[in-house]
Amino acid sequence: MQSSYLMLVVVTLIIGLGAQWYVNHKLKVYNHVANSTGLTGAEAARQMLAYYGITNVQVFRGGPGQDFFDPRSNSVTLSPEAYDGRTITATATACHEVGHACQFAQDYTPMKIRGAIVPAVNLASNAWIFLLMAGIFLHISGLTTAAIIMYAVVVLFQLVTLPVEFNASQRAMVYMGQIGLPAAERKGAFDVLRACAFTYLAAALTSVLQLLWLLNQRED
């Protein structure tokens, strides 16, 4: 058990660090490449919203690393680099987050599914490890089974997140093509968005591997 878990830790660590290095590398490269439009990320986001006729979404300036769409307030928040930046990274990031706003406006099914399971995920992500440890130390198989079921909910959430993120990036790329962004800049934006997608893939893969390990230990 210990050797197999150590192997799992090593594999997942390699996957996670590799994905993080790749995304940081791409973001850094294109964060130094100016876009030809001269628009900041915030301006690009607002123009994309207007292009698709979405008028009820606000764009806010957040803190470092805060790039997200919040369906509760129907708003886009961009980090300072993305909000004020006039780079390929800023444009790609802003358009990706607006892609989520477009999904919300159009009732995109995977986004609705992900939103519906958020409460269960919030509970499961915090409770499963405690149930697992309690089940192991108290030798109560029911607690262990409940922990695995809770973790499976977390894994499901990460798997459902994949099409949501991929589709938002696809919408961003389509928009950048429709407004005539130069091919070289679209390629740079694609590199940035693909790198970010790898982090979601890595997270999902490591979670699936963890779940498979738990199920294997349960059977043993």
Annotated catalytic residue 97? yes
- Burial pattern 199-220, b for ≥16 Cβ within 10 A else e, equals bbebbbbbbeebbebbeeeeee
Residue identified by tokens 């958020």 is 118
Catalytic pick from 97, 165, 185, 219? 97
Cβ neighbours, 10 Å, residue 159: 14
| Cα distances (angstroms) measured from residue 149 to each of 124, 131, 182, 206 | 9, 11, 48, 17
Contacts of 13-17 with CB under 8 Å at 24 or more apart are 15/202, 15/205, 15/206, 16/202, 16/203, 16/206
| Alpha helices for the chain (secondary structure H) | 2-30, 41-51, 80-84, 88-105, 109-138, 141-178, 183-219
Residue type, 57: V
Total Cβ atoms within 10 A of residue 37: 17
Q: Which of the residues are catalytic?
A: 97
